[in-house]
Amino acid sequence: MEQVTTIGLDIAKHVFHAHGSDDQGRIVFSKRVSRSRLLSFFARQPRCVVALEACSGAHHWGRELQRLGHEVRLIPPAYVKPFVKRQKNDAADAEAICEAAQRPSMRFVAVKSEEQQAGALVFRGRDLLVGQRTQIINALRSHMGEHGWIAPKGPSHIARLRELLEDEASVPASARPVLKLLLDMVAELDRRIAELDREIARRAREDDTARRLMTIPGIGPITATALTALAPPPQTFARGRDFAAWLGLVPRQHSTGGKQKLGAISRMGERSLRRLLIIGASAVVLHASKRGAPPGSWLERMLARKPRMLVTVALANKTARIVWALLSRNEVYRAPAPVAA
């Protein structure tokens, strides 16, 4: 009987599909497996490579399969799609996953631990609350604009809207209770976001890696804790350039015939980390624009010849490389020595 060496597993909520092949790529089995019988099915299989798409629930099943002794490989869904033959169904997806896992140049995602996923939850929750607050503030500004009152953008101007609602002549009496309800929701979200900020700051103080990351200019408690929770191990990347590319902080290429054509940043990878690094770089660039960058520094030379937004993204890319170097070498950031004039 042919020995299965690679299994492609297409996961879902209730019904899974497993596609097994031998070391020559020949099919050994292709079968549906229910959720309740999945682990018992893999317990009967010989120790082999099990490949899954890196999607919802993949890290959980990856940990469970690792406990059974299998080698788990998570593949980004975009890298699996080219291997799907014609129609899309569970069997075709599982076969494509199995085929992609056997490519020698395929890239894989590291399986996250439960602690890593739990640590990332605070940022997911904070992003959700901030998005809800922005949505409510925009709705308030729109509703007040219908009555002739225009408020500046940003949560800092909500107090002005509350003052307007206290004025009985500003809006109709029938609209005032609903607008006040929205304002109360913004206040509650502010309180919840502040609680999460304190929790993030506490984690940053207690974590040695986060404290070392905060020595880098433009990285505060939120970004430092996010990097420790969301970024894969530094050994995943061969160099800092690969880490910056994973974050989507490198130009998108559309080159052919030896002619290089670069566009805007690719925006691939972890968008939360990319956003935080760009926000931190923006603060550093803004400070340097107002008070001046260190004489002879890279930042001073870039600001002298490039637009500020371009410098911001370039600095975020540079910061990502520094982060990788700091994590991989277990060091503390050391500022470069100023260049003598």
Over residues 207-248, the pLDDT tens digits come to: 899 999 999 999 999 999 999 988 888 988 999 999 999 999
Residue 57: both structure tokens together: 């629930």
* Residue tagged 């100023």 (tokens): 338
Q: Please answer whether residues 52 and 97 qualify as being in contact, where contact means their C-beta atoms are separated by less than 8 angstroms.
A: yes
| Banded model confidence at residue 330, pLDDT cuts 50, 70, 90 | confident
**pLDDT at site 17:** 96
Q: What is the DSSP string of 234-271?
A: GGGSSSHHHHHHHTT-SEEE--BTTB--EEEE---S-H
Which among 103, 114, 126 is positioned nearest to 67, based on CA atoms?
A: 114
Nearest to 333 by CA among 199, 250, 202, 224: 224
For the segment 254-273, the average pLDDT, to the nearest whole number, is: 84
Per-residue buried b or exposed e for 198-236, using 16+ beta carbons within 10 Å of the residue's own CB: eebeebbeebeebebbbebbbbbbbbbbbbbbbbbebee
Please write the tens of the pLDDT for every residue from 11-21: 999 999 999 99
Q: What is the pTM of this model?
A: 0.81
Q: How far apart are CA 150 and CA 152, in angstroms?
A: 7
Is the model's pLDDT at 106 over the cut of 90?
yes
Q: For residues 76 and 83, give the distance between their C-alpha atoms in angstroms, rounded to a whole number.
A: 13
Q: Which of 165, 162, 161, 166 is nearest to 151 (CA)?
A: 161
Helix (H, G, I), strand (E, B) or coil at 131: helix
Position 169 scores a pLDDT of 63
Express as a percent the part of the chain with pLDDT over 70: 97
